[in-house]
Structure 1
């Protein structure tokens, strides 16, 4: 009888220890939350365009919003000191303040050494450039300027030798690398985006439809462009080349997270 009780006590002790071990494991176990794939707030995005046959650039729009940006202020300050706009609009030749670098595309592109120096202090030396098929990390080359009394005024950060065979047409850039997915067919989301665009009732539009080229989960990266206006302006039907990052919500609604575009029609003069 004593042996039986002793054996039973051992079993109870073993069972009690097992429960304690399980409790300890349960208490010490921590939930590991996956890191978000896309942190919008901590990144910087800019559009990228082929401005001509020989010039591809990251684009900063200037004097494009009611609230002045850092780059608006930089340009305004140097323009006042160096008479960049005055020389550009009233002189057909180069001056001590401006040099023409490319007149083959939609814009007559110029550069100013003081603007170059100041802009380079306020941008990164490299950016990740995303095309319709892939991406590359690229160095900034020159700082150029495109002025027009009617169209969007731009500062361009030129890049050299973007591999279009590997990466496709250049679309946008970011400071931090994005893990984009490139899929073959985005027709369903493009249909939703088209409905979303029509609901906006824009006063000025063209016939170029929005195309999706990549995504991160339910965030979609898009462009409106026929890629002809820079190299062959007379053959282009695109008046408002645009880049955008859109969020598809659970109720199938679209939210614009970021967008930038150019007005090549010249709404300001219409």
Structure 2
């Protein structure tokens, strides 16, 4: 009997020793679950811009000038600059310190240090840029502009974009957008195309090839582009006259509404 008691005590002592060697774990309270950070996004139309490839090497936020629009501060400032600086090609003077930045693309684009200094203050130094494959944070590295006799003018903020990382650039945002890529958007794509086709500038004035492609979404916001990404090269044979970026919203019944859009006019509608 004594032998059994001694064996039992030895077993108990060995068991206690093993338990002491087990690393202590801090218990997690039931109500203290792991929290993953989620970015909440609310569309602010004034903080989103269309991004386009202007030349073989340059991709930029392109902002159209709205002449005689007193509600558009950037356009008002642009008009005042035209008058104050007496742009040479408008007033038939020599170019002086203005230089053509690029004449081979769908431009021409012009650079002037005074212009850059003035309009650099109107934008942030960096933006979240989203493309066909992904996103990155990019900085503004140069500011150029396009001015035509018929008033089809643009201010372009060139960004340092890595196309290998994000694909073809589409939009820039002051705020980060938790955009979801890679879903099957076939059904919503058809709904958006059907909804937006009648109002499309490309269908009404261009070659009629408007086909918006959904590349990502955030909840019920769908981000689209219409672009062949070739038009910056005049010899590419592009049939895209009005490249576009847009954001659509769907309601609980599936109704589609356009909330925001950006468009380039390559045809020159003011001249028609």
- CA distance in structure 1 between the partners assigned to 2:258 and 2:45 by the alignment: 17
Report what 1:217 is aligned to. Answer: 219
SS at match of 1:152: coil
Superposed displacement of residue 184, structure 1? 4.3
| Contact preservation (8 Å) 1:111, 1:145 | yes
Unaligned runs of 5+ in 1: 1-33
* Alpha-carbon RMSD: 2.4
- CA distance in structure 2 between the partners assigned to 1:73 and 1:261 by the alignment: 20
The 5 A counterparts of 1:231-250 are 231-232=233-234, 234-250=236-252
Report what 2:158 is aligned to. Answer: 158
Report what 1:78 is aligned to. Answer: 81
The 5 A counterparts of 1:91-170 are 95-150=95-150, 152-160=152-160, 162-170=161-169
The 5 A counterparts of 1:1-270 are 37-41=40-44, 44-63=47-66, 66-84=69-87, 86-87=88-89, 90=92, 95-150=95-150, 152-160=152-160, 162-200=161-199, 203-205=204-206, 206-232=208-234, 234-270=236-272
Compared with structure 1, are the counterparts of its residues 105 and 167 closer, same or farther at alpha carbon in structure 2 (3 Å cutoff)? same
| Contact preservation (8 Å) 2:69, 2:76 | no
Unaligned runs of 5+ in 2: 1-36
Compared with structure 1, are the counterparts of its residues 265 and 233 closer, same or farther at alpha carbon in structure 2 (3 Å cutoff)? farther
- CA distance in structure 1 between the partners assigned to 2:104 and 2:91 by the alignment: 17
| Contact preservation (8 Å) 2:67, 2:76 | no
1:120-165 CA-partner distances (Å, limit 9, x unpaired)? 11110001111011111011011100122357311001113x2212
| Contact preservation (8 Å) 1:51, 1:57 | yes
- CA distance in structure 2 between the partners assigned to 1:190 and 1:224 by the alignment: 12
Compared with structure 1, are the counterparts of its residues 199 and 76 closer, same or farther at alpha carbon in structure 2 (3 Å cutoff)? closer
- CA distance in structure 2 between the partners assigned to 1:254 and 1:231 by the alignment: 34
Superposed displacement of residue 36, structure 1? 7.8
Compared with structure 1, are the counterparts of its residues 201 and 50 closer, same or farther at alpha carbon in structure 2 (3 Å cutoff)? closer
